[in-house]
Amino acid sequence: MKNMLKTTVLLAALTGLLVLIGDYFGGTGGMIIAFLFAVILNFGSYWYSDKIVLKMYRAKEVSPAEAPNLHKIVDGLVMKARLPKPKVYIVESAMPNAFATGRNPEHAAVAATTGILELLSFEEMEGVLAHELAHVKNRDTLISAIAATLAGVVTMLANMAQWAAIFGGFGSRDDDNGGIVGLIAMAIVAPIAATLIQLAISRSREFAADAEGASISRKPWALASALEKLEYGNSHYKPSVSDVQAKESSAHMFIVNPLKGGAIRSLFSTHPVTEERVKRLRAMRF
């Protein structure tokens, strides 16, 4: 409930930022057109998200005969979570990670890399897949799509402001709202603020999926142990030529951030700090 409240507040903040920018431009006509355009794009992305992402990572659907342990884990977890069984995929990559996709529980898929299957124990994989099924159960793909839509419109309008600053603004509106300085400030600050809010939503949903996943598996310690191994494994992962590489646009889908980076990049990370996630999980009792 606390994480859902935080998500609602952040979505409201993102919406408020969009309204403020629309007001700056002096009307809602252009904002509505841009918003509808972004909604259409994101709706299409959301509706076909599973096919897009699975194809992007060259994921192969596997049968119970091909991956018996993976199917055994999923079968047990969906019974506990009272969810339809998702399709099960394997990604040929030494990168230890996993993700879930799909527009709703009836059209979901879970995918694990060959790297994570080699790294984790049976119970640790239970923790990981319970986390991914929690995303499916909580419909986090829908929340992410809404956040991406709003952030996308803010960025679009900010780009318009950049061009306005270059070519002299929007006529008399400049004097009423701070002129060229206001345009430049909005062009720089608005997309950064939108990105940070979107990332905060993503991080909040990760905490919620950790808690829900631990509740499903009843083994928070297993997920905590898995996260520690995955954090180390991804930070020391050296891709081979044949490995599928993680993309910036879909990094938020994985259970741990697959992209390396320093302090600045961590500020813009789609995931909360692993140490904090582990700390919360180890404090849970069932």
Place of tokens 């992305």: 45
Active site residue 132: yes
14 contacts 197 by C-beta, under 8 angstroms: yes
269 contacts 257 by C-beta, under 8 angstroms: yes
- Give me 81's structure tokens: 């979570």
> Residue 71: beta bridge partners?
none
- Give me 65's structure tokens: 């005969």
Q: How far apart are CA 182 and CA 286, in angstroms?
A: 53
Q: Which of 132, 206, 212, 231 is catalytic?
A: 132
Q: How far apart are CA 122 and CA 99, in angstroms?
A: 17
Q: How far apart are CA 196 and CA 151, in angstroms?
A: 9
What does R_g of the chain's alpha carbons equal in angstroms?
21
Q: How far apart are CA 77 and CA 79, in angstroms?
A: 5
Which of 49, 36, 159 is closest to 103 using CA atoms? 49
Indicate which residues carry an active-site annotation.
132
